[in-house]
Homo-oligomer: A and B are copies of this chain.
Amino acid sequence: MVLGKIVGTVVCSTRNDSNIGATYLLVEKTDQTGKKKGDFLVALDLIGAGHDELVLVTEGSPSRETPFTTEKPVDALVVGIVDLIDDNNKIIYRK
């Protein structure tokens, strides 16, 4: 999984993914302290991640492994909102 921050949303009216209702979020990848890296991806969000929250994103085929995304053409999914990251027992990120 990779870490990223929610920076925006992507709206598509013509869609081919059967995910009616779920939101595509614009995610900027970050390092483990939450510092943005200038590298973006678009991920589907089902857990209501808010603007500027640090999230964990699963990429590729495993993104389909939720009841909602099964058999959908989704290749990036927000799987967790990060509360805390420690590095060598030192807290380096806290929500």
Contact = CB atoms under 8 A, between A and B. Distances in A.
Interface of A: 1-3, 7-18, 24, 26, 31-32, 40-43, 46-49, 51, 56, 58-66, 69, 71-89, 92
A78 B24 contact: no
Residue among A46, A79, A84 facing the most chain B CB atoms (10 A cut-off): A79
Q: Copy number of this protein in the oligomer?
A: 5
Nearest to A39: B31
Contact of A16 (B41, B78, B84): B78
Nearest to A71: B65
Contacts of A87: 7-8, 26
Given A60-B75, A61-B62, A46 B16 contact: yes
Contact of A13 (B40, B81, B92): B81
